[in-house]
Amino acid sequence: MAVEEINWMSGGPQGSGVDTAANIFGRACGYGGLYVYGRREYHSNIKGLHSYFHLRISGNEVSANVNDVDLLAAFDAETVVRHINEVVSDGGIIVDKDQVETKVLSIPTLTYELRSELRQYLDKKGLGDSLSDLLADAGKSGVHVFQVPYMDLLKQIADKLKIEQLSKVTRMINVLTIGISFGLLDYDESLVEKAIRTFFAEKPRIVDMNILAVKTAYDYAKQNFQNNFGHKLQKIEIDEKRIFISGNQAVALGKVLGGCRVQTYYPITPAADESEYLEAHEILKTKLGEERGAIIVMQTEDEIAAINMASGAALAGARAATATSGPGFSLMVEGLAWAGNSEVPVVITYYQRGAPSTGLPTRHGQDDLRFALHAGHGEFARIVLASGDIRECFYDAAAAFNYAEKYQMPVIHLIDKAMGNSSQTCALFDSSMFKIERGNILDETQLIGEYKRFKFTESGISPRVFLGTKNGVHWYTGDEHNEFGHISEEPANRTLMVEKRMKKLDLIEKEVPIEERINFFGDKNAKNIIVSWGSPKGAIVEALQKLTQEGFNLGFIQVRMMHPLPKEYLTDALQNTEKIIDVEMNYSGQLGGIIREKTGIPIGFHILKWNGRPMTTTEVYEAVKLVLFNKAPKRQVLTYGS
């Protein structure tokens, strides 16, 4: 049975429960066997500025949004103003009856840019400046407007609960809109109840209040808007175990699987959620029994301390990581080079956001690929991984420690805001194939006679000894050093030592299977190939499926190991390609440039975006299609987003 896809958006002031609403809505859909992908958008603000959650409900697993909104659940007038043009022509808008006369140009939290744009729009269309004017206009093109008296409903709820102060229930506007939404969509009400019970598990009183609110709203929708809305949502039976998880959580789980035992961080968006989640779960359940696993999460005084503390822990023998975003990584750079020079297996999870400087602290971007590749003075070996979706976040986070220890070098794991802060349902992660590989480590029984931490070997990898091991005393230094780890400025030693470190990259090229370094989608012999990395994957894969169905010949290489770049594979795959289309979320087409640098193959077409909002399936599909139709300029810039 085909499941209708629904794109639901809830929005309101920050702090009014937008996340909670999305979580409950998403869970309710998930319990009904549906796949959910949810993107969270918020300002760098604690309370008051607009935030929203865009949920896509589907019968198939998806990890991108489309441009459409089928049902907009607005907590306030601003949400309507900001998103009304995203609502599809037979879609719906749930709005507070008491706010429809709001003068939209007077909404205080509208920015200068948006206000000017809105004024022009109203003038152009000859509309008045009330929200009702905008709604009436949308209504003309078929959009259903569901005016709901939020305060009356809250009053009914407060009366039933014998609560005198209305302010004690106004927080529940969010669940009211959920109740209305599911009433309109004719969805199984009991699943919403289940979602609320799980979400507020430890607060029974809150559970009761919220369930009453949902029921009241659900019934209101049924009574007042019966059959007014064409979109319906039906649960389906599935026999698969699924989870609803964010990218931040997936990375944390991957770290636990990978044996991470020390995580350091300094608070920064959008990375901090991962560390807090780990700290909340610091005592780990292991197959070895009780009291055998724990992760120490250290909140440090800055990111400089974070990276260096993690390196210290790694030298002592713990698998150690830190998590940050661009500004924090900037501070880590000196420590990164130390780790490179001293061959420290430290993992840095790098959540990109709009940059440079503070940039767009809560918005998406892929601006930092070249920074991750080149950060640090001097030449040293590192691995840079880039996950493409939440599931990959999990597996890559675990694998990062294997790479770090086997090859004795820092590993930078690139995530981005679109992945980190999005949530989706997916089949339970299967970790049965994952093995921990710690590389060449000597314990005291293997240490006889002189030990050289940086012994010259053919592969460049020297057997490693943890600090504290008997008979293994050795030294580390940020200076150039000899095999013992003592300072050396001798030219012959320098020549060999730099080469020792750098040639480990050749070993990676030789040893790491290509399946771990790239993903390929579509036709292996395609004339047209998309190259990309990171979170555009979800939108590209869907666009590719659609275009393939339409008869286009297309392939997609998702690069996952950004450094060392799988250049031989890329050369083979791209050298006879008619059209190479680079898709990424930055201004300069960083991956495209790197591919050209490493393979000598020029990139014909760029599809780029840097407005802080992730690429949607819709816009990638349209842009790629233009290229395939020979109608695209060499460089297309995508701009969808609100």
Interface of this chain with other proteins, residues 319 to 358, rule: CB under 8 A = 319-320, 334-335, 338
Candidates 109, 300, 493, 548; binder of other proteins (CB under 8 A) is 300
Task: Tell me the window of 25-33, 150-158, 170-178, 580-588 that interacts with other proteins (CB under 8 A).
Answer: 25-33
Using CB under 8 A as the binding rule, whether residue 282 contacts other proteins is answered as yes
Using CB under 8 A as the binding rule, whether residue 74 contacts other proteins is answered as no
Task: Show the beta-strand stretches assigned E in 205-345.
Answer: 242-246, 260-265, 283-286, 289-294, 296-299, 319-325
Candidates 18, 24, 143, 253; binder of other proteins (CB under 8 A) is 253
Q: Answer whether 86's CB lies under 8 Å from 9's CB.
A: yes
- 46 or 448: CB nearest other proteins: 448
Using CB under 8 A as the binding rule, whether residue 310 contacts other proteins is answered as yes
Terminal CA-CA length for the chain: 33
Task: Tell me the window of 1-9, 53-61, 259-267, 558-566 that interacts with other proteins (CB under 8 A).
Answer: 259-267
Using CB under 8 A as the binding rule, whether residue 40 contacts other proteins is answered as no
Task: Tell me the window of 42-50, 164-172, 314-322, 623-631 that interacts with other proteins (CB under 8 A).
Answer: 314-322
Candidates 85, 166, 267, 294; binder of other proteins (CB under 8 A) is 294
Using CB under 8 A as the binding rule, whether residue 431 contacts other proteins is answered as yes
Using CB under 8 A as the binding rule, whether residue 439 contacts other proteins is answered as no
Stated as kind and residue range, the H or E segment containing 180 is helix 173-185
- DSSP letter for each residue of 233-262: -------S-EEEEEHHHHHHHHHHHTTEEE
CB 286, min distance to other proteins, A: 4
Using CB under 8 A as the binding rule, whether residue 286 contacts other proteins is answered as yes
- 58 or 264: CB nearest other proteins: 264
Using CB under 8 A as the binding rule, whether residue 463 contacts other proteins is answered as no
Residue in 288, 329, 335 with CA at minimum distance from that of residue 313: 335
Using CB under 8 A as the binding rule, whether residue 295 contacts other proteins is answered as yes
- For residue 523, count CB atoms less than 10 angstroms from its CB and return exposed for 0-12, middle for 13-18, buried for 19 or more: middle
- 117 or 479: CB nearest other proteins: 479
- Checking DSSP bridges between strand 319-325 and strand 260-265, what pairing results, if any? parallel
CB 475, min distance to other proteins, A: 4
Number of residues that bind other proteins (CB under 8 A): 82
CA dist 441 and 468 (Å) reads 13
Binding mask 165-204 for other proteins (x = CB under 8 A): ----------------------------------------
Task: Tell me the window of 481-489, 536-544, 547-555, 625-633 that interacts with other proteins (CB under 8 A).
Answer: 481-489
CB 71, min distance to other proteins, A: 21
CB 477, min distance to other proteins, A: 4
Using CB under 8 A as the binding rule, whether residue 469 contacts other proteins is answered as yes
CB 252, min distance to other proteins, A: 8
Stated as kind and residue range, the H or E segment containing 531 is strand 528-532
CA dist 26 and 10 (Å) reads 11
Query: Number of C-alpha atoms within 13 angstroms, CB side, residue 257?
Result: 22
Using CB under 8 A as the binding rule, whether residue 468 contacts other proteins is answered as yes
Three-state secondary-structure class, residue 344: coil
Task: Tell me the window of 138-146, 147-155, 462-470, 526-534 that interacts with other proteins (CB under 8 A).
Answer: 462-470
- 45 or 299: CB nearest other proteins: 299
Stated as kind and residue range, the H or E segment containing 22 is helix 18-31
List of residues 6+ apart from 495 with CB closer than 8 A: none
Q: How many CB atoms lie within 10 A of CB 598?
A: 16
- 476 or 521: CB nearest other proteins: 476
Candidates 293, 439, 593, 604; binder of other proteins (CB under 8 A) is 293
Q: Answer whether 69's CB lies under 8 Å from 14's CB.
A: no
For tokens 């440090």, the residue is 300
Q: Answer whether 474's CB lies under 8 Å from 496's CB.
A: no
Stated as kind and residue range, the H or E segment containing 71 is strand 69-74
Using CB under 8 A as the binding rule, whether residue 485 contacts other proteins is answered as yes
Task: Tell me the window of 48-56, 482-490, 594-602, 609-617 that interacts with other proteins (CB under 8 A).
Answer: 482-490
Using CB under 8 A as the binding rule, whether residue 455 contacts other proteins is answered as no
Using CB under 8 A as the binding rule, the residues of this chain from 487 to 546 that contact other proteins are: 487
Instruction: Round the CA-based radius of gyration of the chain to a whole number and report it.
Output: 27
Task: Tell me the window of 12-20, 84-92, 426-434, 630-638 that interacts with other proteins (CB under 8 A).
Answer: 426-434
- 65 or 264: CB nearest other proteins: 264
User: 35 forms bridges with which residues in the sheet?
Assistant: 58
Residue 423 CA to its chain's centroid (Å): 8
Using CB under 8 A as the binding rule, the residues of this chain from 394 to 413 that contact other proteins are: 398
20: amino acid identity, one letter? T
List of residues 6+ apart from 212 with CB closer than 8 A: 157, 160, 161
- 369 or 465: CB nearest other proteins: 465
CA dist 479 and 337 (Å) reads 11
CB 384, min distance to other proteins, A: 22
170: amino acid identity, one letter? T
Candidates 6, 13, 17, 31; binder of other proteins (CB under 8 A) is 31
CA dist 584 and 521 (Å) reads 17
Stated as kind and residue range, the H or E segment containing 558 is strand 554-559
